[in-house]
Structure 1
Amino acid sequence: MKRTLKFSPLLLIILLLNFSCSKDDDIQINLKDLKVTVDENPANGQVLGQVQTDNNSSLSFSITAQTPAGALAIEKKTGKLTVADAILFDFETNPTITATVSAEGAQNTAKITINLNNLKELTTEDFSVTIDENPINGDTIGIVQATSDGTVSYSLLSQTPEGALNINTSTGELTVADATLFDFEVNPVITAIISVDNSGNTQNVTATINLTDVNEVSLQDFTTTIDENPVNGQSLGVVQVTGGEALIFNITSQTPNGALSINANTGELTVVDATLFDFEINPVVTATISVDNSGSMQHLTATINLTNINEVSIQDFTATIDENPANGQSLGIVQATGDGTLSFSITSQTPGGALSINASTGELTVADATLFDYETNPAITATVTVDNAGNTESADVTINLTNVNELSIQQFNTTIDENSTNGSILGTVQTNGIGILSFSIASQTPAGALSINASTGELTIADATLFDFETNPTITANISVSNSEGIETAIATVNLNDVNEIGEFKYGGVIFWLDPSDISHGLVCTVSDFPIIGGWGCQGTNIAGAIGTEIGQGQANTTAILAECATAGIAADIASNSTSGGYSDWFLPSKDALQEMHTHRATINNTAVLNGGSNLASGVFYWSSSQNDSNTAWLIYFDNNGAAFFLNKGTAGSNIKMRAVRAF
């Protein structure tokens, strides 16, 4: 049997209410704390997190307190936390943001903690500027402004027209990359997007360059070629410009710096520093020139090509010497270099005429020693020019004089014949000094040859035997002169002339006679006798040309004998055919010449033996070339007396000798 329970509506409502109340009283809801970390500087509305319950119940959430006030907002139904005021999310001001969140029906409140990360912050500004059209490459346009607490880098993301701009990645400086694009008629506005980066934090800025339309002039780049080493102020030419009025020219840059200048009104270029116009260092000199046309600026390039030329360089010359030098004394050589033939000259000097210079070597010498006086001219100066194929350079010459003891002495030189006599005057040693001078010979070679007058300085021969050319061709002495100021020394040199002397071996034989009027002439005899086979010759024949007996007639006698008597082996024949000593003009001596040989026989013998010959024989006869008559001729008997005899021309034998002679 089926039973049905029936409830009244009122009873059912009461039961449901009891059930519901019992359930609410039994369930407890708790909020969970929320702790998050975010970067500073978020955006308003950015979600930071969501407040959770322990059983994910849906409640009605609200913020009951927060520090700083107004920083956070919460979505009432979901508990989602968002940024309410982004400017409060600044690490430097509020490194931590806190709040208390409550919810209806929750048993507790939730603690909210937002920790901020410190970021490298970056602020930027768009860039805008207005400039004249037609700038030059590299011109600065301006600097993109950005602030940050770290390192900022810049880059161009895009630009219109492309390639117009450059940016310095470190400084943000904008410069002209392609000046041809800065043309008002083509691109009145140039734009770019620039990225600014701060350790990954990037912002983009817009750069806008507005061009001003200017009254343009027509410019021509300037090019010329000149020789290196111009002079300062030399004109290089005029920059050519068409159009415009009241133009102003200026050099904005040049390489090398300081080489050029330009006339602001005319555009004439000139050399400012000629030392920079050196082909080896700067073969090309360049400049960028601006032309200002009533505030409108245009630019052109100037190019100066240098030609390499034969160069010359010269060094200033400075020397210090004692005053009172000698004329011709070398002062030194002016140093100069060049790749050609150098020519030196003195273009000016003070005092005039003091110096001379070797045109080829540059050697400076004393021209007028009297000007080298410390009291009058303590310094001698000159300008020396060196020329290298028309390329000239000049140098300053300075000769500083040292003040010295004014006592001076000159070197003494003289030349005399050997064999002078004792007491002969050689000359006077020249000196210059004040007060009483005293002369002395400090040393001499050979010792004892010279003497000097202590008061006058006159040199004389002390020992004539030492004045022998063969033994002492030069005699020297050290001469001292002194006064109250000091002492000076000089060398005296006496050079001897070699003169002909009796007994000298010269001219192929031994000198036995000298011409009294000119001792450069005389007679020599052979160093040895000649054997006689055929006697004098021409027995019974009168030879009229052979009767001379005086010195100097032997040659004529011999010639006459040979002309009349052709017999071989006679004395004249043997003499004339001799080549003794390398000579071939020997002859028989005349009677008097033979007598002179007898007089000097001891001297002749000494020299003859020393030179490979023999003594004149003693106690024998020597033929002369002098005929006595048709049957006899003269001989000299060589004993102590040297008497003259005449014998038959045909006489021969061991006691009959002949010695040939020749003239010089």
Structure 2
Amino acid sequence: MKYTNLTFIYALAVGSLFVSCSDDGEDTDNPIPEATIEITAQDVTITMDEVTQIEDGESLELSLASLADYITVEGAEGVEPEFSIKSQSVDGAFAIEGNNLILNDKSILDFETNPEFTAVVTVAVGDESKDLNVTLTLNDVHEATWSIGPIEVGMYENPENNEQLLIVAISNYNPELDGEVTVTLSEQSPANALRMDGKALLVNDASLFDFETNPTITAKFTVTDANGRTQENVITISLIDVAETSWTAENTTFTIDEHPNSGTVIGNIAPVLTDSNIVLSYSISQITPDLLLIDTNGDVIVNHGYLMDFETGDKTATVTITDNQGNSQEITIVVHLNNIQEPQWGFNVTSQGNITVNENLPNGNTLAIFSQYIVDYREGVHGTLSYSLANESVPGALGVTGQGFLQVNDASAFDYETNPTITATLKATDQRGTTNSVPVTITLNDLGELTLNDISVFVSSSSSPGDVAFTPSVYLDGVRIANTDLASDYVVTFSDYKINGQNTASSILELNNSGQVTLLNVLGSQDNFTAIMTVTNAQDQNITVSANVLVRF
């Protein structure tokens, strides 16, 4: 035990004692000088800290002072002083051993009970004596009241290394007075299973936390404050058995070039199965959403290669593997990326934007496939391309698909007489924000135009199949087409039949080799039917015309 502030304060109490002696027969007329013993004594004043803790086996007796240091004796050469306690404020507190002032039991040095101890000590030399006062004053010191109890923990087996189990609780701990505490472990069973990090109890070796091997893990822990006060107690950890899986998944690292194409399989994380009844499923959590996919076979698949950039570092993801028996394991996959030279894409030649087509094209007709004119494009580097149109000379005339197909969007705009030339700018933008464009010029060819007016005729109800219903008049650029040329150079069809306003699947009309329209079927009196007659140039389907037909019986 360390004691401080042991101070001796001296108060001088000087006394003189003169003793006269005479021999028998001494000459009274001539007296001999008498021998004189003079004792000088100083009071003893001691100041010290109270005693707050006594270690096991520590001596309770405490030597306070050598009383011989507090007296001087003259005139008594060869005579030893004798000390005795005349009185004391606390019975039995002080004792004298030889010349030493002794405290019998230092456990009584408690400021709250006796802040001061006093005594009167008598020193005797021969027949002479002198009293001196003893005062022992105690300093009040902080008495720690903190305590720790035993720790009992129940937990599932198979934790992770460095997993925190608990924070050691210390009751009535005052950091300002008790200072920083340290916690140490000893007598671990099994050895090295646990470790301390400050007051945190951590798993040191997770392999030891196995229910089948070590159902109980124990250790002693010792807490020591800044004043040197210590307490010891025990830790008992009871492991809870969990169902063990028949398979084990491993953390995995893959190394690939940056910017792989989407859909690239970079590896497999499926654990080896010894039970054919086990079915696994996979779920993935990652910082960059949708960067990777895991299929049902455990293949790790690139979902967005353009996001896998070397300059942004390795990519990590957490995968949870769950079987059909409810067991699951969590692993980490790391994708390390090699740096590559990243190409810059663009359109190869602007002349690919010059297109010549016939007028009168239908909606949806493809004019050009611009995705095939892009060079140095890699989906893994640049992501998916999107297409758009700008600067259209005829708004709405053109359209572009997600695949880069330039198409007719408004067939009415593809008329030579109205718009002999249609222009626009086609833009392609990748998922990294890079945009390239190409000017588009569409030149229309002027085509001959057919004219056919709507037809309305009366036919006798006594007519027979094969009879002529009517002879059509079809014009090409204002010139009537000969009927024989109509039969040989054009395709004439009839559709959308309706008898008395009702749809019918029956065919009623056809064009004969002479260019006349004949009956295939004859209706009754008062009946009528309608149809649509379409005439198309056999060599150029863009040259076509349609008209309504009404036949009454």
Fold-level similarity (TM above 0.5): no
State the TM-score, normalizing by the size of structure 2.
0.40
Higher relative contact order (CA 8 A, sep 6+): 2
Larger Rg: 1
